[in-house]
Structures are given as C-alpha cells and as structure tokens.
Amino acid sequence: MATQLEIFVRALSRLLGWIYTFCWSASFYPQPINNYRRRSTTGLAIDFPTINVLGFVCYTIYTSAFLYSPVIRSQYAARHPQAEEPTVRFNDFAFAVHAVVLSFITYTQFWPLIWGFKVSRFQRVSKPVAGLFWGSIVAIAVVIFIVLAKSPDKGYEPYSWAWIDVIYTLSYVKLVITIVKYVPQAWVNYKRKSTYGWSISQILFDLFGGVLSLAQLLLDSGFQNDWSGIAGNPIKFLLSNVTIFFDLIFVLQHYVLYKDSDDGSKDQNPSDRTPLLSESNDLPREVGV
C-alpha cells in the first residue's frame, strides 16, 4: 500500500509534468502569432520549424511506444530490471503531438501561397539541415534493417537487436535535431545583431519548461532509487539540458547583447540588410535575413 510520501511524490511528479507540458506547449504559439501580426517571417530561420517537424514526429513515436506498446515496455523491463516502469509520461506524449501540429503550422508560414506573408528569397532550408533531415530518415531505416537482419526473432528478443533500439534511434534523432535546430537561429540573430522577428516569449516558456522537465525526471528516478530511469529515458534528460543551454543563449542575445538593436527597420530597408553568410563564405546562405 502506498505511503503518504509516495502519494505526495507521485502527485508532485504529475504536477511538474503538466506544468512543463503547458510551458513547452505554450512556447509554440508566440512565434506563429508574431509572424501573423507582422505578415512576415523575416527574422526567423526556416531551418528551425522545418527540422522541428521531423524531430517531434520522432518524439511522438518514441513516447507513444513507451506508453502503449507491450513489446517496447517488455523489452525495456528486460533491459532495466530494477526500474518499475519507463519514466515516459502521458504528458510527454501529449506535448509531442501538440508540437508536431504547431511546428507544421509555423513551417507553412514560409509558403506565401497559403499565408501571403513576406518571405525573403534567402529564407531557404540550408544544405546542412536538409542533409540532417534526409540523413536522419536513412539512419532510422538502416537500424530497422539491422533489427530485422540480426535479431533471431525479427526484433522481439530484448537482449539482441530489438525494436526498442529503433525507438531509441528515434530519440537520438530528436536529440540531434534539438541540438542543431537552434544553431541557425542563433547565427541569424548574431549576423543581424538583433532578435527582432524571433519571439523571446517562446524562449522564456521553453526555458521554464526545460527546467521543470528535468526536475520531474530527477524526482521520478530519485524516488525509485534507480537512476537507470535516466539511462532508460536519455532523450528526456538530454533534451532538457540542451534546451536550457540554448535558451540561455537566446536570453543573453535578447536582453544583453542586442537589447538596443533596431525594432525591425532592416525588414523595411533592404539597404540595411546584413550581408548574407554566402557572401562572406561563411555558413550556409539560407540563414540570412
């Protein structure tokens, strides 16, 4: 029978989970709303929403598998016998589904035929990000092929190549995407010496959500006295830390480095445009303003 402490900790974990889910979910609204109000996507790197869609599709499959797949849950239990259950929660899945929808909406705002927004001819997906997009899909396909070829029972034996390895691959794809997706935007802000067009509100929601997500994972693992909950759910642990790291960079850019920058005059005067990266033989030109 559960003690009062157990009941309290579980209730606190659920509370943290839903608060961070709300914060991370809310972080997807300021940017498309900002684009809509300005009727422009200027200041937003197209790489960010493009790669975000793939990342959250992977995360949705990952969370749904750990929540609802008997095969994945049994394989997890076999590999982590001390853990009571995976540390993935329903709020993780709810957040992932919501993120797919909002990321796709933001991506479509770069299609003038749909929204009629001002989109710079330089706002194209960069070659590195396009390579990451298709390379991720190929990597997932390769792991599926290995599981089918190497497993003695087509992926159901947990101690060999198994379907859980495919699910973990999806999580690592999401992690790599999370690391990469912020870089073009940080670079755009740096080249423009401005964060105009890039909503700081989404970053503040994102930062708070990352802190609470990490707190929930540590609380769950600590309460179970089994830190393999982190090893068994590396995506949540690493995503939180990566998110916090990059969000702090954006906060620094907005409130310290470029706090006195223009309010969008570069969007109105093409002669003030920051030189494109391709013009300086630097990173890909597609992340210019």
* Domain extents in the chain: 4-287
Handedness of CA 104, 110, 112, 113 (dihedral sign): negative
pLDDT at 274 over 60: no
Q: How many CB atoms lie within 10 A of CB 228?
A: 15
Structure tokens at 113: 């035929």
For the residues 281-289, what does the mean pLDDT come to? 39
The token pair at 33 is 């709303």
What is the rounded distance in angstroms from the CA atom of residue 197 to the CA atom of residue 73?
Answer: 43
The tokens describing 46, both together, are 């197209």
Determine the pLDDT at residue 1: 52
pLDDT value at residue 158: 78
Q: What's the pLDDT tens digit per position in 241-250?
A: 888 999 999 9
Collapse the DSSP code of 92 into the 3-class scheme (helix H, G, I; strand E, B; otherwise coil) and give the result.
helix
The pLDDT, as a whole number, for residue 84 is 67
> First CA to last CA across the chain, in angstroms?
60
What pLDDT was estimated at residue 269? 40
Whole-Å CA distances, 94 to 61, 64, 160, 192, 231: 11, 9, 31, 36, 22
**Per-residue pLDDT band at 2 (split at 50, 70, 90):** low
Q: Whole-model pTM above 0.85?
A: no
Instruction: Check residues 17 and 96 and name the one with the higher pLDDT.
Output: 96
pLDDT tops 70 at residue 232: no
Return the pLDDT at 227: 58
The alpha carbon of residue 125 and the mean position of all alpha carbons in its chain are separated, in whole angstroms, by: 17
- Name the amino acid, one letter, at 224: Q
pLDDT digits (tens, 9 = 90+) for 109-144: 999 888 888 887 777 888 999 999 999 999 999 999
- Reported confidence tier of residue 31, pLDDT bands at 50, 70, 90: very high
Residues 6+ apart with CB under 8 A from 33: 199
3-state secondary structure of 119: coil
From its phi and psi, is residue 281 left (phi > 0), alpha (psi between -120 and 50) or beta?
A: left
105: pLDDT strictly greater than 70: yes
Tens of pLDDT, residue by residue over 45-102, are 999 999 999 999 999 999 999 999 998 988 888 887 776 677 788 888 988 999 999 9
| 226 or 270, greater pLDDT | 226
Q: By the 8 A CB rule, do 170 and 59 touch?
A: yes
Main-chain dihedrals φ then ψ at residue 138, nearest 5 degrees = -65, -40
Q: Best-predicted range by mean pLDDT among 16-20, 53-57, 75-79, 261-265?
A: 53-57
Q: Name the 3-class secondary structure at 40.
A: strand
Average pLDDT across the chain, whole number: 82
CA distances from 147 to 141, 241, 265 (A): 10, 30, 54
Q: Which pLDDT tens digit goes with each residue over 191-219?
A: 889 999 899 999 999 999 888 888 887 88
Report how far residue 133's alpha carbon sits from residue 51's, in angstroms, rounded to the nearest whole number.
7
